[in-house]
Amino acid sequence: MHKFELDEKRRALVALEEQMQRTMDARLNLDKELAAEQKTAAQALELGMTYHGYSKRFIARREKMEQDLEHLKIEVEKAELVVQIAYQELKKYEVTAERQAAREKLEATRKEQAEADDTNITAFERKKKS
């Protein structure tokens, strides 16, 4: 159960990291688009007149991407913390389970030894009576 929860939290973290990478790639593509648009605007006077409107839209898109990236960074940090906590919980569970198994094994060994001792005592008493 704890391992499943940890795996789920890790998958969520990976999904956030992938989303963040896609956003960073989109930002890079946007920068390339800006460079191409600037080059085109510089070459053609008619396009240069529309560049102002493009640049305003570009700035808005870029700011939105930056906000999205900041939000994703925060979400990734939260998800990493959740994964760490889930991992610690899993380790606590595993340690507790190991200790319980060791106690049960020790108890079983003691019980077997007590039964062996009883058997040996009974055999000794029978032998003594004979």
In a domain, 126, yes or no: no
- The two structure tokens encoding residue 19: 């989303």
Give the residue ranges of the chain where pLDDT is below 70: 47, 130
pLDDT digits (tens, 9 = 90+) for 104-113: 999 999 999 9
Q: Is residue 24 part of a domain?
A: yes
pLDDT of residue 53: 84
- pLDDT of 127 reads 82
| DSSP string for 58-114 | HHHHHHHHHHHHHHHHHHHHHHHHHHHHHHHHHHHHHHHHHHHHHHHHHHHHHHHHH
pLDDT of residue 60: 94
State pTM to two decimals. 0.66
Number of domains in the chain: 1
Query: 50 is in which domain, residue-wise?
Result: 2-98
| Residue 118 falls inside a structural domain | no
pLDDT of residue 102: 95
> What pLDDT, on a 0 to 100 scale, did the predictor assign at position 38?
85
Q: Is residue 15 part of a domain?
A: yes
